[in-house]
Structure 1
Amino acid sequence: MTHDLLRLATAGSVDDGKSTLVGRLLYDTKSVLADQLDAVERVSRERGQAGPDLALLTDGLRAEREQGITIDVAYRYFSTATRSYVLADTPGHVQYTRNMVTGASTAELALILVDARHGVVEQTRRHLAVTGLLGVRHVAVAVNKMDLVGWDQARFDEIVAEATAVAARFGIDEVVAVPLSALLGDNVVDRSANTRWYDGPTLLEHLEAVPVGTDPAAQPLRFPVQVVLRPQQAGHEDYRGYAGRISAGVVRVGDEVTVLPSRRTSTVVGIDRGRADGTLEELGEAFAPQSVTLRLADDIDISRGDLIAAADVPGEVTRTVSGMMCVLSDRPVRPRDRVLLRAGTRTVLAMVEEILDQLDIATVEYARAPRELALNDIGRVRVRLADDLPIDDYRELRRTGAFLLIDEADGATLAAGMAETADRYAGASI
């Protein structure tokens, strides 16, 4: 049987019970090895706990176990009869917001925990903001520890209304909320008798049913060139191919394509895919996210960093990039900073021209023109480039609309950004 694959990321404030929930998912779907469970039960007994502490299944770092918190992004894998899952378990502390950005950047669903006693807090708003800005398509809010508020439906409805309102401000149109207790297992995998007033799915039922994947045929071709292949083997002296991974769309032999930033056009005459034995297999078509080599009819000057795109929807070439970004480094980002900007396989010299505004998580509003953006800050910037750059609007094509700002001195990543078309939101309030 072919399994669907769902990539999801968890997020929650400190002590919301995220590690326990992830552990419960692993435990109740029988995705825990016997020796792992034995180790968890042994440590739990040593701590004087009556049952296994399922959070220990996920807090794998020694520092995490000692402090009882999640520090780094960890990827967990589990499956059911119909679907496989890659779960990015991200930290809840505010100082690790950058880790949440990393974990959610490839996710199709964000699972955001809320402690029923505390409701929507600043970190909840921060996580919803990041989720919306990253373009994550589906959001599930797990209202945890409902047992500690007496399974109060009014409290659940109040939290859902507030979370939905915050989500809407960041372009998240649909939020599915589930009342649960990760510690006891209510509504995680099995339906709870304590929530007879709730007629929605359990958490796992929702994860099983949410649509996954994007139809490649619904998006225009985007093929960032990673390397130009010129094998010098007998009988193959004329071979010239462009290898990379298809970011979006479908490519077929005979398709007309445009090479960016030069805007030269050509026709695809061959699509090759490597076999395990080192030979090449010729394909009639390929689609995202396959890694292939394209051969073109014309001898065009193409190098690493160029983008082969659909001729009818080639995208934009620009020397100015504006968009939201989250600072990932201890070094603040300031106007007039000289940086490198990397988008896809292309890296260009750049300068931070202007910080347009900064997102105030507490008020969910934008404040104009701060002097700098520090670690974990989220704001909009305009960056001037020294060379032409093909880039898409992130909300339309995530992979070719994302960019990184890099310290040109030591190569450290400073910030992760999401390109927007021409300053559409500059200075606006959401």
Structure 2
Amino acid sequence: MERLVLDPTGRNRDAETAELFERGPATPIDLLGVRAWAVADPELLEELLKDPRVSKDGLQHWPDFAEAVPTWPLAIWVAARNMFTAHGAEHRRLRRLVGTAFSVRRINAMTEQVEQLTGTLLDGLAATPPGTPVDLREHLAYRLPIQVIARLLGLPDSLTDSFRTTVDRVFDTTRTAEEAVANLTTFYGMLDELIATKRREPADDMTSLLIAARDTGDEEDGADGSDGSGKADGSGKADGTAGASALTEEELRDTLLLVVSAGYETTVNLIDNAIAALLTHPEQLALVRAGKVGWGDVVEEALRRDAPVAHLPLRFAVEDIELPGGVVLRKGDPILASYAAAGRHPVRYGEDGAVFDVTRPVKDHLAFGHGPHFCLGAPLARLEGATALRMLFERFPDLALAPDAELRPVESLISNGHRELPVLLDGAR
């Protein structure tokens, strides 16, 4: 079968989704020059995401790693050393450390803060002159998540906008390898500045917590369901490895890189896509306003229909894996999780999978992943999404898309959102 070449601009996503459906559960693709298998069938993808024979550690399980990374624009997606690219015991060790910042206690404590931040942003929007279009992606969908992640990590105000710019470039898949390397150099420079600041002046934030794990080996109890010992059974050992709670300096930097990137861009797209869906489906918005469904239902349907991450690179077959239909993933083969296509697949959602329906009885989706790498930030993203939607539509009941608004996709085969979301806060009045 001829390889499907994925469009780095994201403009052909609907056509690519249709072709992925037609080609079967897994299909060979070209991912900016790297040969891989795209998996769009949610049933198969779910199985592979929890299969121990599938790894995210390219350094260990991708034979082409050394050759591909220097010239591949998406190298950071496989080369960073953090829980995103770790496998097995190493993944469990790193995930526990990050999990302390996303505990139920910490997320619940942020509810009031998210509401306050949202209210302040809406106050700013209310000053817009009547009849003047405003870009909600820029002034709400962007600003709320970046402010939340800034407070979670303890980012100084002087670095917040710079972090946003570099993260946007990480997700921009139209950039060359040289441009990607230059952006990454800038990104690491800002991370080093943040780490140095927090070493001098630690605070109650995630960056300081991770620095403590790096510098002292400390780990907060109760993270990710464990007792802090590194093993959920309380044996006092982390997968049999002494000192496994400590972070290397590289892991510290790359873990912060991951949290800034994943904790920000995906939530931007969630809020953006949900607002766009409601404004283009007024009958669905009417159901929410009538109390027939809740804002949480809107969030889940937006996540399903328009996964914030369209394709997520990469996973690797640890050994030969035979798939339904006789397809065999050979040891070392790269695997691309095609979440946007999986969220609309007829095998799980019927022939109307592309329809936005907040009353849809099937609520399960893979937008946050599945298995060991399920997104730790999912509860926070859901909180931000539901809060932003509820407060926005309560504050501006006549909200409508601006006349002749063109909802253009961001230039990325990874990030799934719009370049801008122009609206009139006072609607057609």
Same structural fold, with TM-score higher than 0.5 when normalized by the shorter chain: no
Higher relative contact order (CA 8 A, sep 6+): 2
Q: Which has the higher strand share?
A: 1
TM-score by length of 2: 0.23
Q: Which has the larger radius of gyration?
A: 1
TM-score by length of 1: 0.23
Q: Which has the higher helix share?
A: 2
